[in-house]
Amino acid sequence: MPNRQKNNVQLVVQDNAAKIVLNGDVLGHDSDDIVRQIQNISSDNIKNITFDAQALGMWDSSLLVVLYETLRMAQANSIKTDMSGLPKNLQDLMKLAFADDRKPTHGDSQFSWLESLGKGTFDLWATINRVCNFLGTTLSSVGRFLRRKSVMRGIDFFSALNDCGPKAIAIVSLISFLVGLILAFVGAVQLQTFGAQIYVASLVTIGMCRIMGAIMVGIIMAGRTGSSYAATIGTMQVNEELDALQTMGMSKTDFLVLPRLFALILAMPILTMLSDIMGMIGGAFVGVFMMQLPYNEYWKYAFNAFTLKNFLVGVFHGFCFGIIIALCGCYSGLNCGRNADSVGLATTKSVVCAIVWMIVVTGIITVICQELGI
């Protein structure tokens, strides 16, 4: 019977079985030698491994290395292991070390199509319940605000307004200018065929004021501000700050959602108007400096195409987009998990959700305006 000993960890091999005997304190144990022996016992035709820790005293992480390497080698070589001889706390640590909490790549492959359908239905129903509960809570908070009973702080509102208003002017102006420039180029390609280049002014003005200005601002703010809302509130969830607010009896919706919602509702129509102006200037840059159109004539056609109806439709789009972006960002943050990966996922979901719902709402408003002749 070979007897391989290193300090207080002893490896005993007999016939087709191996036993690891733990004696006394195992503190600061040099595990290299015993681990090397454990890795080599697979060549001894070992069928099972047991543990004897009756005389075990104090221990530290060096013992965990020995046990982990033993169990890992046993798994790799299909050797049976019996951990009943270890203390309960060591057994729990080993089970935790080998627990695989990763989701399978093909999670639904283990279910039949009917089970997958049922699981998907329950998940969808749970999501609908969460969304409806969030919307109801938000409406209740708005009602409390109107009755002056909410706990929303003015400083939070002005901070959110500063973030989504003045700080967003530069990027909105640049993108809108470029979009107006691109619209002018696209229109000019066809209009030059008929010698009607001057109508580029009308094309850019109507396109930017009615829809393109609001959509570009919405996309920019969804990626810039909506994701910021989700990340900020999601990080508070990870740090258990939301739990602290709930413990203190403060409404999370009043304290976190309302300032951001009202800030975007106020900022989005103003940014939409700025986008309209910058888009028209971008179109004028192409028309006047590249197509050699008369300056006065270009702006004459632009102002003739500018109508209050188109302008108000665009501003209304911006108002609706502000609500959508704020709600999507705050919902994703409040329903975030409690780890760093969940914060990133919540941020992604907020942007995707906001853009999708903006497109849906745009389609609905367009159909309504068409039916009403607006």
Band of residue 356 on the pLDDT scale cut at 50, 70, 90: very high
Q: What is the pLDDT of residues 273-326, one digit of tens each?
A: 999 999 989 888 888 887 878 888 888 888 888 888 888 998 999 999 999 999
How many distinct helices (H) and strands (E) make up the chain? Answer: 15, 5
57 phi and psi, to 5 degrees?
A: -105, -125
Is pLDDT of 353 > 70? yes
- 22 three-state secondary structure: strand
Residue 198 carries which DSSP code? G
Q: What is the pLDDT of residues 88-112, one digit of tens each?
A: 888 888 888 777 544 444 444 566 7
Q: What is the pLDDT of residues 186-234, one digit of tens each?
A: 888 777 777 777 888 888 888 888 888 899 999 999 988 989 899 888 8
Sequence spans of domains, the chain: 3-97, 137-372
User: Could you give the CA distance from residue 331 to residue 229 in angstroms, rounded to a whole number?
Assistant: 9
Band of residue 341 on the pLDDT scale cut at 50, 70, 90: confident
Q: What is the largest CA-CA distance in the chain?
A: 105
Question: Tell me, what's the pLDDT at 39?
Answer: 64
Question: Tell me, what's the pLDDT at 4?
Answer: 40
Question: Tell me, what's the pLDDT at 82?
Answer: 83
Is pLDDT of 153 > 70? yes
User: Could you give the CA distance from residue 127 to residue 164 in angstroms, rounded to a whole number?
Assistant: 28
| Whole-number Cα distances in Å, 199 to 27, 196, 276, 286, 311 | 85, 6, 17, 12, 19
- 194 three-state secondary structure: helix
Q: What is the pLDDT of residues 108-120, one digit of tens each?
A: 456 677 888 888 8
In the predicted model, what is the mean pLDDT of the chain? Answer: 82
Band of residue 130 on the pLDDT scale cut at 50, 70, 90: confident
* Contact (CB, 8 A) for 259 and 152: yes
User: Could you give the CA distance from residue 111 to residue 114 in angstroms, rounded to a whole number?
Assistant: 8
**DSSP annotation string for 134-146:** HHHHHHHHHHHHH
Provide, for the chain, the percentages of residues in helix, strand and coil under a 3-state DSSP scheme, each rounded to the nearest 5: 75, 10, 15
User: Could you give the CA distance from residue 191 to residue 287 in angstroms, rounded to a whole number?
Assistant: 12
Task: Tell me the Cα Rg of the chain.
Answer: 33
Band of residue 34 on the pLDDT scale cut at 50, 70, 90: low
Q: What is the pLDDT of residues 43-66, one digit of tens each?
A: 556 778 888 888 888 887 778 887
Is pLDDT of 3 > 80? no
Among the ranges given (10-14, 31-35, 352-356), the one the predictor scored with the smallest mean pLDDT? 31-35
* Contact (CB, 8 A) for 181 and 286: yes
CATH number for 3-97 (one of 3.40.50.300, 1.10.357.10, 1.10.287.3510, 3.30.750.24): it is 3.30.750.24
Q: Which residue has the higher pLDDT, 31 or 85?
A: 85
Q: What is the pLDDT of residues 222-278, one digit of tens each?
A: 988 989 899 888 888 888 888 888 788 788 888 888 999 999 999 999 999 999 999
Band of residue 20 on the pLDDT scale cut at 50, 70, 90: confident
Question: Tell me, what's the pLDDT at 358?
Answer: 92
Q: Which residue has the higher pLDDT, 56 or 5?
A: 56
Closest by CA to 277, choosing from 299, 297, 294, 293, is 299
**DSSP annotation string for 12-45:** EEETTEEEEEEEEEE-S---HHHHHHHHHGGGGT
